[in-house]
């Protein structure tokens, strides 16, 4: 259920952003088991200019136990929008103490400094303000602690729109001004008026508006933060306890929670009704959160997954009541029953993304009488399986729901089209290599479990069916066939992460009842499997376990894994294929959809090939980063991968214009020639011709380069040079959505042996 939390955060993403968080009511707390109460006092207010002055004068500090600066540009943009519009922006929690913990930055506390003031809560906001107002990092942070560069925020002085620099829109437009330049007095209203006047673009109304908006921006310095103070009497432990209490209790509302609050305003019984239904579903083994109900309401009412504000207005009251009545009395129970009877899903814990149920619910809701025929059920179930296997909703969930619900609403064959979208992202065919090193957290395991249940598989030790009515608590367990204790004794431990991954691989797991798992303990695989085969002759086959007894001995462990991968690949592909025939040709996925998918083990983004976006200069070292990614795709267990150049980690399209400007020719052809030359210099012309495809597309009016890398047949090493000028060959592989090096020679050897033979 973690994906419900991960994908439904409000657009104001940091919990510090714009919520008072109940702090003014948090006047006292018992902390750390103390016998007395630490009184948090209201300390009045502190202007932003005072905060900055105190930081610069070493009067305001940040304790070392605070996290790094993690806000992103969207957070900074939202904060300054609220500051300029004079919206509430939260409080500060500070601590006055003569015995501070270690401080961030270069300043070391000395006794003659007396009581100093520390920021305990609000430092992300204060850091953002300092960076943009002062145009530099605050003294309490090292550059490596600033995870995201939020400087360079511009304001349109006519509209007060905020945006980060966009060359095409801003370069020759004097109305766009860097906020830092305004706060530092480098740009004045008169400068803008003068430039516009020289262009004949200034009239009286615009002149007045510019003056007013300049004043609105500069008045940010006078904004005040209410301040709550932990007194000098508090110990370090007590102050840290309060810090965690405040942070733990201050989680912002998600979009869905805010929508629920609004719905409850015009329909007071709503929350209780929703909770009653959730409790009812929970008893059947399907545990959802209130967020899930709100997503279902939005999907059915508006065919959307992203615009929760549609539910805010009281004009929705009659519609929401009617929609809920049908969801409550018919649709939700029907969908759950289909999952149980046709998809073999007995508990929500078996589902890696419950958001796949939202299009399913929307389709059932709009169907005549709220029911599906047999063929419709098969198509819906097949799509559901692939949505889980290929992790359709692992990222950008609201955006993907918008697209998928649009298909549900308009298509005559929606699940075929939706399956086509998945196929555009990832192959539907399961490959044996997908099992290598994958543990039970991988969606393959859920599919394996559903397949076993479809075959009426039983527990190996008790013969009890794996189909169970579980209620709230999930009661099936997944046990190592070859006990981990034995594998560890034979070198499959954390000292060699690739052998450890093989020990934890899904192909070394069987599904058991709780009672049997406790009784099995560390029984040798050969003994356990022989006993299971003796008492329940079909049990091994139904859980796709090789029946060749020579593979059950410890020396044959990796051969056992290989054999079981082969069986599972064959059986799972046949299982999925035979559910029903579906036409997936109408499914379409453009490059924007692929970018919206987000990075994963087969997709990576790079802002540029050789242009340093942070320092705005040519940086040839970045070319090596691209080569590392290509090598990692080549060396990985997947089907290769795709690198998109011109898109940053936040999925923002930056284009290739800056890269073009560094090349003779300054166009796509020059870029491709240079890229191919880099790759061929590293690994040869034959490799480029056989394993790499380069293409270009326009996204949002900007060029991006797509580099498709085929799964390699030989390992690739990358020539690197460290900071001291020492050259070395390094070996990179894919680790989730990262290209990570393997440093240990023994681990490299183990990996190459397992991957390339």
Question: Roughly how many angstroms between the first and final C-alpha of the chain, as a whole number?
Answer: 38
Confidence (pLDDT) at 516 = 56
Confidence (pLDDT) at 27 = 38
Question: At 106, is the pLDDT very low, low, confident or very high (cuts 50, 70, 90)?
Answer: confident
Residue 327 pLDDT > 50: yes
Confidence (pLDDT) at 33 = 42
- What's the mean pLDDT in 549-559? 96
| CA atoms of 286 and 461, how far apart (whole Å) | 27
* Backbone angles phi and psi of 300, in degrees to 5: -75, -40
- What's the mean pLDDT in 111-139? 92
Instruction: Burial-class residue 515 by CB neighbours within 10 Å (0-12, 13-18, 19+).
Output: middle
Question: At 5, is the pLDDT very low, low, confident or very high (cuts 50, 70, 90)?
Answer: very low
Confidence (pLDDT) at 424 = 84
- CA dist 312 to 212, 298, 487, Å? 33, 11, 56
* Backbone angles phi and psi of 226, in degrees to 5: -60, 140
Residue 316 pLDDT > 60: yes
CA 242 to chain centre: 29
Instruction: Report the share of the chain in percent with pLDDT over 70.
Output: 89
Confidence (pLDDT) at 473 = 61
Which tokens is 179 given?
Answer: 């906020």
Instruction: Burial-class residue 268 by CB neighbours within 10 Å (0-12, 13-18, 19+).
Output: exposed
- What's the mean pLDDT in 327-336? 96
Question: At 11, is the pLDDT very low, low, confident or very high (cuts 50, 70, 90)?
Answer: very low
Which tokens is 473 given?
Answer: 């608590």
703 or 260: which leads in pLDDT: 703
Residue 501 pLDDT > 50: yes
27 or 454: which leads in pLDDT: 454
What would the pLDDT profile of 335-370 be if each residue is shown by its tens digit?
Answer: 999 999 999 999 999 998 899 999 999 999 999 878
What would the pLDDT profile of 29-38 be if each residue is shown by its tens digit?
Answer: 444 444 445 6
Question: At 584, is the pLDDT very low, low, confident or very high (cuts 50, 70, 90)?
Answer: low
What would the pLDDT profile of 247-297 be if each residue is shown by its tens digit?
Answer: 544 434 477 877 886 787 678 688 789 989 999 999 999 999 989 999 999
Question: At 474, is the pLDDT very low, low, confident or very high (cuts 50, 70, 90)?
Answer: low
Residue-averaged pLDDT of the chain: 86
- What's the mean pLDDT in 642-650? 93
Residue 168 pLDDT > 90: no
Task: With both helix axes pointing from N to C terminus, report the angle between 255-266 and 270-283 in degrees, rounded to the nearest 10.
Answer: 120
> Do the Cβ atoms of 243 and 432 come closer than 8 Å?
no
Residue 17 pLDDT > 50: no
Question: At 753, is the pLDDT very low, low, confident or very high (cuts 50, 70, 90)?
Answer: confident
- For 395-434, the DSSP string reads S-HHHHHHHHHHHHHH-SSHHHHHHHHHHHHS-SSPPGGG
Residues 6+ apart with CB under 8 A from 621: none
What would the pLDDT profile of 185-225 be if each residue is shown by its tens digit?
Answer: 999 999 999 999 999 999 999 999 999 999 999 999 999 99
| CA atoms of 562 and 342, how far apart (whole Å) | 30
Q: Quick one: DSSP state of residue 710?
A: P
- What's the mean pLDDT in 583-590? 61
Confidence (pLDDT) at 179 = 97
Confidence (pLDDT) at 34 = 41
SS3 721: strand
What would the pLDDT profile of 593-639 be if each residue is shown by its tens digit?
Answer: 788 778 888 899 999 999 999 899 999 999 999 999 999 999 988 78
What would the pLDDT profile of 52-94 be if each residue is shown by its tens digit?
Answer: 999 999 999 988 767 678 899 999 999 999 999 999 888 899 9
Residue 12 pLDDT > 50: no
> Do the Cβ atoms of 731 and 717 come closer than 8 Å?
yes
What would the pLDDT profile of 655-692 be if each residue is shown by its tens digit?
Answer: 999 999 999 888 999 999 999 999 999 999 999 988 99
């Amino acid at each position: 259920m973690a994906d419900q939390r991960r994908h439904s955060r409000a657009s104001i993403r940091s919990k510090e952003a714009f919520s008072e968080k109940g702090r003014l009511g948090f006047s006292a707390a018992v902390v750390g088991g103390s016998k007395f109460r630490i009184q948090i006092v209201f300390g009045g207010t502190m202007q932003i200019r005072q905060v900055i002055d105190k930081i610069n004068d070493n009067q305001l500090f940040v304790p070392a136990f605070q996290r790094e600066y993690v806000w992103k540009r969207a957070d900074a943009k939202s904060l300054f929008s609220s500051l300029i519009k004079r919206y509430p922006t939260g409080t500060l929690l500070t601590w006055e103490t003569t015995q501070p913990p270690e401080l961030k930055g270069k300043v070391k506390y000395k006794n003659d400094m007396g009581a100093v003031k520390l920021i305990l809560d609000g430092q992300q906001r204060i850091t953002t303000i300092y960076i943009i107002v002062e145009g530099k990092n605050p003294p309490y942070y090292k550059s490596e602690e600033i995870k995201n560069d939020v400087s360079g925020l511009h304001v349109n002085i006519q509209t007060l729109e905020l945006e980060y620099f966009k060359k095409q829109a801003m370069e020759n437009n004097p109305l766009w001004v860097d906020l830092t330049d305004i706060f530092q007095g480098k740009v004045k209203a008169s400068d803008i008026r003068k430039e516009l006047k020289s262009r004949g673009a200034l009239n009286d109304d615009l002149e007045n508006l510019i003056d007013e908006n300049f004043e609105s921006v500069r008045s940010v310095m006078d904004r005040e933060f209410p301040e709550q103070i932990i007194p000098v009497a508090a110990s370090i432990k007590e102050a840290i306890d309060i810090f965690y209490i405040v942070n733990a209790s201050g989680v912002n509302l998600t979009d869905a929670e805010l929508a629920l609050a609004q719905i409850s305003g015009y329909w007071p019984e709503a929350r209780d009704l929703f909770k009653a239904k959730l409790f009812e579903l929970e008893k059947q083994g399907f545990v959802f959160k209130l967020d899930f109900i709100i997503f279902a309401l939005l999907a059915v009412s508006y065919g959307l997954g992203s615009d929760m504000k549609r539910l805010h207005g009281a004009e929705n009251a009659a519609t929401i009541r009617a929609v809920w009545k049908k969801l409550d009395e018919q649709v939700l129970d029907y969908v759950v029953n289909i999952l149980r009877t046709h998809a073999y899903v007995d508990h929500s814990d078996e589902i890696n993304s419950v958001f796949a149920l939202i299009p399913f619910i929307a389709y059932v809701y709009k169907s005549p009488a709220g029911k599906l025929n047999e063929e419709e059920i098969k198509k819906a179930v097949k799509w559901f399986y692939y949505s889980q296997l290929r992790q359709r909703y692992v990222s950008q969930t609201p955006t993907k729901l918008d697209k998928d619900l649009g298909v549900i609403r308009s298509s005559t064959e929606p699940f075929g089209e939706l399956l086509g979208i998945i196929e555009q992202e990832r192959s539907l065919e399961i490959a044996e290599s997908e099992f290598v090193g994958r543990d039970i957290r991988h969606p393959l395991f859920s599919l394996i479990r559903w397949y076993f249940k479809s075959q009426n598989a039983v527990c190996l030790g008790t013969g009890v069916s794996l189909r169970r009515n579980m209620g709230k608590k999930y009661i099936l367990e997944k046990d190592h066939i070859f006990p981990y204790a034995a594998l560890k004794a034979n070198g499959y431990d954390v000292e060699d992460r690739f052998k450890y991954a093989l020990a934890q691989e899904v192909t070394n797991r069987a599904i058991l009842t709780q009672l049997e798992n406790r009784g099995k303990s560390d029984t040798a695989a050969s003994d356990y499997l022989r006993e299971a085969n003796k008492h329940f002759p079909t049990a091994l086959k139904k859980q796709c376990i090789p029946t060749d007894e020579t593979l059950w001995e410890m020396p044959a462990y990796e051969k056992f894994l290989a054999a079981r991968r082969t069986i599972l690949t064959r059986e799972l592909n046949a299982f999925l294929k035979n559910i029903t025939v579906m036409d997936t040709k109408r499914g379409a996925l453009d490059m924007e959809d692929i970018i919206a998918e987000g990075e994963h083990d087969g997709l990576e983004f790079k802002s540029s090939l050789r242009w340093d976006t942070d320092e705005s200069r040519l940086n040839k070292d970045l070319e090596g980063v691209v080569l590392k990614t290509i090598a990692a795709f080549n060396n990985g267990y997947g089907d290769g991968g795709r690198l998109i150049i011109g898109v940053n980690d936040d999925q923002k399209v930056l284009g290739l214009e800056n890269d073009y400007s560094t090349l003779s020719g300054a166009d796509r052809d020059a870029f491709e020639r240079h890229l191919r030359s880099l790759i061929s210099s590293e690994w040869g012309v034959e490799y480029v011709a056989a394993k790499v495809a380069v293409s270009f597309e326009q996204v949002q009016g900007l060029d991006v380069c797509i580099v498709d890398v085929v799964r390699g047949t030989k390992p690739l090493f990358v020539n690197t040079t460290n900071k001291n000028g020492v050259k070395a060959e390094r070996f990179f592989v894919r680790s989730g959505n990262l290209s990570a090096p393997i440093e240990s020679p023994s681990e490299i050897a183990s990996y190459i042996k397992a991957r390339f033979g």
